[in-house]
Amino acid sequence: MISKILRFFLKLVLGLFAAVFALSLLAAALIVVVLSLLKSLVTGRKPAPAMVFGRFQRYSPQGMWPGGSGQGNPASPRAGDVVDVEVREVRDDKRLE
């Protein structure tokens, strides 16, 4: 009888520890996501996961994924096409002085 009660309390305590552990992992993940989004807002750059998934979506029609159409890269010009671009100077403002 006492062993059943002790087993029940042991299972209850271990279950509570598992729940606290899972909730702390979820909270840590949420904090990382929020900090990543705040960093992207401050720096003006897209978050890294968004850029990675954007690349996957961009290249998916070219056959990167099963069932893709297998066409060439629509973003790149074909041979013989003229591409008009505006020239601008890129400055490196992070010089070590």
Indicate whether 44 pLDDT > 90.
Answer: no
* Alpha-helical segments (H) within 1-97: 2-43, 48-59
In a domain, 8, yes or no: yes
In a domain, 28, yes or no: yes
Question: What domain range is 47 assigned to?
Answer: 2-62
In this structure, are residues 40 and 32 in contact, taking their beta carbons and an 8 Å threshold? Answer: no
Indicate whether 42 pLDDT > 80.
Answer: yes
Indicate whether 68 pLDDT > 90.
Answer: no
> Could you give the number of structural domains in the chain?
1
In a domain, 42, yes or no: yes
Q: What's the predicted TM-score (pTM) here?
A: 0.47
Q: How far is residue 13's CA from residue 32's CA, in Å, rounded to a whole number?
A: 29
In a domain, 77, yes or no: no
In a domain, 58, yes or no: yes
Indicate whether 27 pLDDT > 70.
Answer: yes
In a domain, 96, yes or no: no
In a domain, 6, yes or no: yes
Q: How far is residue 47's CA from residue 37's CA, in Å, rounded to a whole number?
A: 7
